[in-house]
């Protein structure tokens, strides 16, 4: 049996095994693959850099655990970037299957453990940053599109209490934010269609600048919105996350130290992506060459 016969008859489970092995190795032995920052990602970084201390960012957690490896690093990088620059953050979740848990998990990963009902309000990772004053988490609300529209009229009606069921009027920050006019921009960390709603509803109808961090599967569609100017920045999949994380880590030592403490972060994921992607590409090329040669051989026999 020659090589081409072998490749066309190869049991695909060997390929799964190969991908599995190469998904593990770069996590143990990081390769430090280069990350080139694209304009769509640079735009978010530049926008945050251009904001004045005290200005507010709305971060909407519109994804669940299934896309966490792509979306978690985006959310974390933005939270760390914003807090490092003394910006304030209002977080909320609109994704039904796990958005609320992703929100609290990423917030606590970035600022440290919180327990506002029992008076634990200060961030351990960003000393001096206080829950309710510098950042607040409003929790989850059902309804998607209808919720977004209603938030333009009065956020307090949509989110009468925060994640811990404390009335939003009791905290300085959530009391101050009553509509989209009170925030500088919204960042939707999204899977599926919710990020699109931020562009085609909140941006188009209410004029709030929007940036989206989407999953790779959705990225081609989101780029149409980005090119049309309906969102000013776009982080597409793990690659977008790694680019933004690189920008933040290169410029903020505290964020770098906190991020590199984690078992997983976007740059490590990008190493795995690069290796596994290369393997898949090689097998796609080999498979196609084998197919073409096989077709040629069949034609010649006829």
Partner 1 sequence: MHIFFAMAPLNTPDGFGIWVGAFFTLCILSFLYKDNPFFRFAESIFAGCSLGYYIGNTFSQTIVPNVLEPLVHDGHTPFISWGWWVLVIPIIIGVNLYTRYIPKIAWVARFSLAIYVGYYAALEMMLKLQGEVLPQSADTIISLVPRGTPMIDWFTSIVVMIGVLCVLVYFFFSAEHKGVLGGVSKVGVWFLMISFGAAFAYTIMGRISILIGRVVFLMGDWLGYGA
User: Which residues are at the interface with partner 1 (CB under 8 A)?
Assistant: 13, 16, 19-20, 23-24, 27-30, 66-70, 96-98, 100, 139-143, 145-146, 149, 158-161, 165, 197, 199-201, 203-205, 215-217, 219-220, 224, 227-230, 236-239, 263-264, 269, 272-273, 276-277, 280
Q: How far apart are CA 219 and CA 38, in angstroms?
A: 14
Q: State in angstroms the smallest separation of the CB of 169 from partner 1.
A: 13
Nearer Cβ to partner 1 (264/291): 264
For the chain, what is the largest distance between any 2 Cα atoms, rounded to a whole number of angstroms? 82
Beta strand pairing status for 233-236 and 210-214?
parallel
Could you tell me which of 209, 186, 207, 184 has the C-alpha nearest to residue 56? 184
Q: What value, to the nearest 5°, has the Cα angle with vertex 172 and ends 167 and 178?
A: 70
Report yes or no: 51 and 85 within 8 Å, Cβ to Cβ.
yes
Q: State in angstroms the smallest separation of the CB of 280 from partner 1.
A: 6
Nearer Cβ to partner 1 (166/251): 166
> Can you tell me whether residue 121 is helix, strand or coil?
coil
Q: Which helix (H) or strand (E) holds 234?
A: strand 233-236
Nearer Cβ to partner 1 (74/247): 74
The Cβ of residue 50 has, within 10 Å, a number of other Cβ atoms equal to: 10
Nearer Cβ to partner 1 (72/134): 72
Q: State in angstroms the smallest separation of the CB of 87 from partner 1.
A: 26
Q: State in angstroms the smallest separation of the CB of 128 from partner 1.
A: 29
Report yes or no: 120 and 132 within 8 Å, Cβ to Cβ.
no
Nearer Cβ to partner 1 (123/203): 203
Q: State in angstroms the smallest separation of the CB of 99 from partner 1.
A: 9
User: How far apart, in Å, are the Cα atoms of 187 and each of 48, 203, 299?
Assistant: 11, 11, 56
Q: How far apart are CA 24 and CA 17, in angstroms?
A: 11
Q: State in angstroms the smallest separation of the CB of 81 from partner 1.
A: 21
Nearer Cβ to partner 1 (60/215): 215
How far is Cα of residue 90 from the mean position of the Cα atoms in its chain? 16
Q: How far apart are CA 117 and CA 165, in angstroms?
A: 9
Q: State in angstroms the smallest separation of the CB of 292 from partner 1.
A: 17
């Amino acid at each position: 049996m020659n090589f081409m016969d072998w490749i066309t008859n190869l049991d695909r489970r060997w390929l799964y095994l190969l991908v599995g092995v190469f998904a593990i190795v770069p996590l143990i032995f990081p390769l430090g693959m280069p990350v080139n920052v694209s304009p769509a990602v640079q735009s978010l970084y530049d926008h945050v850099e251009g904001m004045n201390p005290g200005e507010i960012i709305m971060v909407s957690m519109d994804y669940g655990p299934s896309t966490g490896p792509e979306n978690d690093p985006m959310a974390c990088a933005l939270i760390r970037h914003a807090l490092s620059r003394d910006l304030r953050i209002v977080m909320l979740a609109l994704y039904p299957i796990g958005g609320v848990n992703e929100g609290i998990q990423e917030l606590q990963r970035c600022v440290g453990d919180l327990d506002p009902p029992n008076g634990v309000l200060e961030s351990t990772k960003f000393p001096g940053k206080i829950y309710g004053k510098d950042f607040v988490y409003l929790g989850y609300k059902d309804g998607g599109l209808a919720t977004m529209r209603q938030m333009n009229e009065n956020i307090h009606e949509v989110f009468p209490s925060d994640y811990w069921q404390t009335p939003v009027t009791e905290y300085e920050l959530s009391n101050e934010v009553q509509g989209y006019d009170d925030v500088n921009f919204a960042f939707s960390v999204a899977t599926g269609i919710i990020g699109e709603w931020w562009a085609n509803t909140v941006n188009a109808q209410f004029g709030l600048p929007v940036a989206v961090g989407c999953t790779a599967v959705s990225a081609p569609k989101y780029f149409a919105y980005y090119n049309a100017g309906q969102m000013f920045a776009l982080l597409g999949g793990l690659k977008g996350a790694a680019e933004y994380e690189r920008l933040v880590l290169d410029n903020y030592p505290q964020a770098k130290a906190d991020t590199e403490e984690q078992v997983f972060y976007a740059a490590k994921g990008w190493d795995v992506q690069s290796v596994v992607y290369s393997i898949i590409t090689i097998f796609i090329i080999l498979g196609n060459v084998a197919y073409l040669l096989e077709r040629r051989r069949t034609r010649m026999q006829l």
